[in-house]
Amino acid sequence: MNRALLRRCGPLVALVVLAALPYCGLRLPGLFDSAVNAPGTLQLLALCLVFGALAMGYDLLFGRTGMLSFGHALYFAAGVYGTDILVTKAGYGLWTAILLAVVGTATLAALLGAIALRTGGIAFAMVTLAFAQVAAITIGRNPGGATGGEEGLPMATEKVPHFLVGVANTVNLYWLALGVLVVTVLVVHSIAGSPAGRVLAAIRDDERRVGVLGLDPYRYKLFAFTVAGGLAGLAGAMYALLIGGATPHIAASDQTLTLLVMVVLGGPGTRWGPLLGGFLFTYLDFRLAALGDSFPGPLSQPLFVLGAIFILAVYFFPGGLAGLRTRLGPLARWIPARRT
């Protein structure tokens, strides 16, 4: 009974706690450099929420449908640059720009997915990687001065609502990032619990059997690919707001590999694992970069530490963070028994 209640109420309690963090002036030395409700801390937490949402959207492909895409960063970058270009170059208002960027990113995912899904396995991964590489090269060459090239493209703030501009309004950006996460969670979980979600899980387990049952795996995979692309575009739009523009590194192929690490670290195909993995990885990435000079030798390199953590996590907890409860459950029951 208690477990069922926790399963139902736990996410709501977590949401309330996250929403209330801007009212918390608590200082946590070692975890954050300043108070929880300080602008710098809220900026970091908002980035963690955005990448947690991005990892959940990617898990719709990898963990729930079994499609290994190496080009998901393309759709994240499309959301970032699409929003920035529409606001800065085309003069659209922020909300219109975000809507157009998300719809455009979903459309792009549908078009490219229709081509890539004609292949499968490693060939599919390579095709998606090729699309992402083309996008990265295009961004770097700055066609028509639209992307800013290697210097990136700062966002013009004239079309951005005043309550989202400036350090003093970081709290509003944090709440908006939390809203993006909630939307992503609702979409992913709604799909996972629907008949279409059960078909996606069947495709992951045995695609041929789905075809034998008279269903078309291609259509369902294209649906998942399009939705995941749209969610990546939404996360990209929020990221553009948080950093105040677009930078070319977000389109690099290693960005998708980072997403893959986040999902595997949290637990692919699980209810909350990808979100936890994305949140934790992003937090450690930024914190280790800030604390790097205080560690000796290779420990001063964030990628070295993150790589070591990932290897240890995969070796000792192959199910990711989401599998800790299952693995530690017998130990928790054994300890009280030993005490008695």
Average pLDDT of span 11-25:
91
Q: What pLDDT shows up at residue 310?
A: 75
Span 170-196, mean pLDDT?
Answer: 96
Confidence tier at 336 by pLDDT (50, 70, 90): very low
Q: What is the pLDDT of residues 200-209, one digit of tens each?
A: 999 999 999 9
Dihedral in degrees, nearest 10, Cα atoms 266, 109, 237, 232: -10
Residue 335 has pLDDT above 50, yes or no: no
Q: Say if 2 falls within a structural domain.
A: no
pLDDT of residue 293: 59
Residue 140 has pLDDT above 50, yes or no: yes
Determine the Cα–Cα distance for residues 132 and 103; give it in Å rounded to an integer.
19
**Tokens representing 320?**
């990711």
Range with lowest mean pLDDT among 132-146, 163-177, 208-222, 325-339? 325-339
In a domain, 232, yes or no: yes
Q: Tally helices (H) and strands (E) across the chain.
A: 13, 2
Q: What is the pLDDT of residue 333?
A: 47
Looking at the domain assignment, is residue 278 inside a domain? Answer: yes
Classify residue 248: in a domain, yes or no: yes
Three-class DSSP category at 120 = coil
- On whether the CB atoms of residues 170 and 39 are closer than 8 A, the answer is yes
Q: Is the pLDDT score of 339 beyond 60?
A: no
Find the farthest-apart pair of alpha carbons in the chain and give their distance in angstroms, rounded.
Answer: 74
Alpha-helical runs (H) found in 66-143: 73-88, 94-116, 121-141
Angle at 91 between CA 88 and CA 93, to 5 degrees: 100
CATH of the domain at 143: 1.10.3470
User: What's the one-letter identity of residue 309?
Assistant: I
Is residue 26 within 8 Å of residue 36, measured between CB atoms? yes
Domain count, the chain: 1
Angle between helices 39-65 and 217-243 (to 10 degrees): 170
179 within a domain of the structure (yes/no): yes
- Contact between 76 and 233 under an 8 Å Cβ cutoff? The reply is yes
What average pLDDT does the segment 260-278 reach? 91
Phi–psi pair at 154, nearest 5 degrees: -65, 145
Whether the per-residue pLDDT at 255 is higher than 90: the answer is no
Strand pairing report for 153-154 and 245-246? antiparallel
Tell me, yes or no, whether 13 lies in a domain: no
Phi, psi (deg, nearest 5) at residue 246: -135, 145
The answer to which of 68-82, 145-159, 274-288, 301-315 has the lowest mean pLDDT is 301-315
CA–CA distance, 215 with 288 (Å, rounded to integer)? 47
**Domain-embedded: residue 1:** no
Mean pLDDT of the chain: 88
Q: Quick one: pLDDT at residue 153?
A: 94
Domain span holding position 238: 42-339
The answer on pLDDT for 337 being more than 50 is no
The confidence score (pLDDT) of residue 138 equals 93
> What is the predicted pLDDT for the residue at 201?
95
- 330 compared with 45, residue with greater pLDDT: 45
Q: Of 24, 246, 296, nearest to 135 (Cα)?
A: 246
**If pLDDT is split at 50, 70 and 90, which confidence band does 295 have?**
low
The answer to whether position 261 is within a domain reads yes
Q: pLDDT at residue 300 above 90?
A: no
Mean pLDDT over 234-255 rounds to: 91
